[in-house]
Amino acid sequence: MKWLLLCLLPTPLLADSLVANRLIKAGQIIQDGDLARVEAQIPGALQAPDQVVGLEARVTIYPGRPLLPNSVGPPTVIARNQIVTLAFMSNGLSIMTEGRALAAGATGDTIRVINLASRNTVVGRIMPDGTVRATASEG
């Protein structure tokens, strides 16, 4: 009868939190084997592997440390100073040229790029194929 009463008493629920299973260096893509679950509710820690697997570590994550949302992000498609294809499309007109990225970024990010032909700086959005579609000019 005592065990029945114990089962009916409220008990705190612990959510699993994700921690690094090994050293994950900044820039590495996180794999399922890099993660471990711990029975602890760590404030701010991610809880499901599908929230993290395939993302890139933005900072070095040490073994046993929790994975936080700001420590991971989409994989970088373009590195800073990388030569990229710069595309401008308007009303059926398509211009393609080379540019140098002034920042690193992932698909969908907006970065500044120097047009190597004109030396003008433009702003563009990174496309999934790694090109930068120019959206506006800077003076």
Structure-block tokens of residue 46 = 């991610």
Domain map (residue ranges) of the chain = 13-73, 76-137
Average pLDDT over residues 114-133: 94
3-state helix, strand, coil in the chain (%, to 5): 10, 40, 45
Burial of 21 (0-12, 13-18, 19+ CB in 10 A): middle
- Whether the per-residue pLDDT at 118 is higher than 80: the answer is yes
The amino acid that residue 53 corresponds to is V
Query: According to DSSP H, which parts of the chain are helical?
Result: 2-8
Which CATH number is associated with domain 76-137?
2.30.30.760
Domains 13-73 and 76-137 share a fold: no
Side-chain half-sphere exposure of 81, counting CA atoms within 13 A: 0
Which CATH number is associated with domain 13-73?
3.90.1210.10
pLDDT in tens, 63-113: 999 999 999 999 999 999 999 999 998 888 889 999 999 999 999 999 999
pLDDT bucket at 5, cuts 50 / 70 / 90: very low
pLDDT of the residue at 26 = 93
